[in-house]
Amino acid sequence: MKEAQGHIFMEELLIGQKAPDFELPASNGKTVRLSQYAGNAVVLYFYPKDNTAGCTLEAREFRDLYDQFVQKKAVILGVSRDSVQSHERFAAKQGLPFLLLSDRDGAVCNAYQVLKEKTLYGKKSIGIERSTFIIDPEGNIQQIYRKVKSAGHAAAVLQALQQR
């Protein structure tokens, strides 16, 4: 970790390093730990907010390709700072077959360095920068996508999994 002017910065996450483990409440009412998926690839995608246009598009694309991800022995996990109840409603409304994880305090978002300063209508705030991490069956980061555009992203992630 680095410290500058009272702020603590994590070392940058790099391809090949161990993915930070975590435990978060999930949309199925259970608690999920990343390490419980050892032996499978994990597609860990961070998104800003349930029921917004870009996040809905991204979730639907992962949903529509879900069976192909399963064939590649890949688990999809979506993470945002929304509540478990919000995730439950969003998953039900969109028919999502994968879990959404609630990171209310942002600890996992911080560990994966996806919280960024954003400006909307002239107002600055801290929010999730749409990002995806492919984690290999040994728990190492295989691929990192930052500043993701929703349209076509799930297909690009699936293609990366097919090339490994």
Catalytic residue numbers, as ranges: 55
Taking residue 109's Cβ as centre, other Cβ atoms within 10 Å add up to 21
Could you give the C-alpha distances from 3 to 6, 110, 111, in angstroms and in order?
6, 15, 15
- CA dist 146 and 129 (Å) reads 7
Helix (H) or strand (E) holding 74: strand 74-80
Residue identified by tokens 């295989």 is 142
Phi and psi torsions of 17, nearest 5°: -85, 160
Burial class (CB in 10 A: 0-12, 13-18, 19+), 84: middle
Contact 40, 138 (CB under 8 A): no
